[in-house]
Structure 1
Amino acid sequence: MTLDAFIASLSQAAPPEGLSGPLQALWWDGKGDWEQAHNVAQDIDNSTGSWIHAYLHRKEGDRSNAAYWYTRAGKSMPFSTLEEEWRDITAALL
């Protein structure tokens, strides 16, 4: 799936079949459902899940919690916009 196809799928009511957990979390966030995105992300126990979890807490405005999750992901908190980070994470996982 391309990034453009992923973004286009946000017009659907549910994530496309076969999306990994990390991409499902990003899909729900792209739909504007932070809570569902967080529910999915917190069940992903690896560095990718930590990266998404960090992004979601940054978006929430909880920078200290975000910093913890970026550290667990082995990443630094980015200086990019939230929209740019969402696209970067999504593109990296597609």
Structure 2
Amino acid sequence: MTVEDFIRSIDGTAPPPGLSLPLQALWWDRKGDWEKAHSCAQDEPDSNGSWVHAYLHRVEGDLGNAGYWYSRAGRTAHSGALQQEWDEIVSHLLALG
């Protein structure tokens, strides 16, 4: 799936089959459902889930909690625009296959 395919899929009612939990979280985030997004990120214990979890807490405005999750992800806290980070994470996760 390309980034463009992923973005187009957001017009649907549910994430496409086969998406990882972190990608599902970003899909729900873009749909405006932070709770579903957070639930998906929380259910993925690896570093990618932690990165998405950190991003979601930035969206929420809870920078302290975001910092914790960036640390769990092994990443430096992102300080750029939320859209920039969303794009970066989606591209990274899709490249993993």
Same fold (TM over 0.5): yes
Q: Which residue of 2 aligns with 1:69?
A: 69
> What is the rounded CA distance, in whole Å, between the counterparts of 1:72 and 1:54 in structure 2?
9
Give secondary structure in 2 for the equivalent of 1:11: coil
Tell me the equivalent position of 2:60: 60
> Unaligned 5+ residue runs, structure 1?
none
Q: 1:30 Cα deviation (Å)?
A: 1.2
Amino acid across the alignment from 2:89 = I
Separation in 1 of the partners of 2:56 and 2:34?
Answer: 7
Does residue 38 (structure 1) correspond to residue 27 (structure 2)? The answer is: no
Quote the Cα distance in structure 2 between the aligned partners of 1:86 and 1:23.
Answer: 10
Matched with 1:28 is 28
CA-to-aligned-CA distance 1:26-53 (integer Å, 9 cap, x gap): 1111111111000111011111111000
State the SS of the aligned residue for 2:19.
Answer: coil
Identity of paired residues, percent? 60
Q: Where does structure 2 lack aligned partners over 5 or more consecutive residues?
A: none
TM-score of the superposition, structure 1-length normalised? Answer: 0.97
Q: Distance in 2 between matches of 1:45 and 1:83?
A: 24
TM-score w.r.t. structure 2 length? 0.94
Question: Could you tell me how far apart the structure 2 residues matched to 1:54 and 1:44 are?
Answer: 12
Find the aligned partners of 2:13 and 2:23 in 1 and give their Cα distance: 15
Aligned residues: 94
Is the aligned partner of 1:84 residue 2:74?
Answer: no
- 1:5 matched residue in structure 2: 5
Over the aligned positions, Cα root-mean-square deviation in angstroms equals: 0.7
Cα separation, 2, equivalents of 1:67 and 1:32: 22
Displaced runs of 4 or more, over 4 A: none
Q: Secondary structure at the match of 1:16?
A: coil
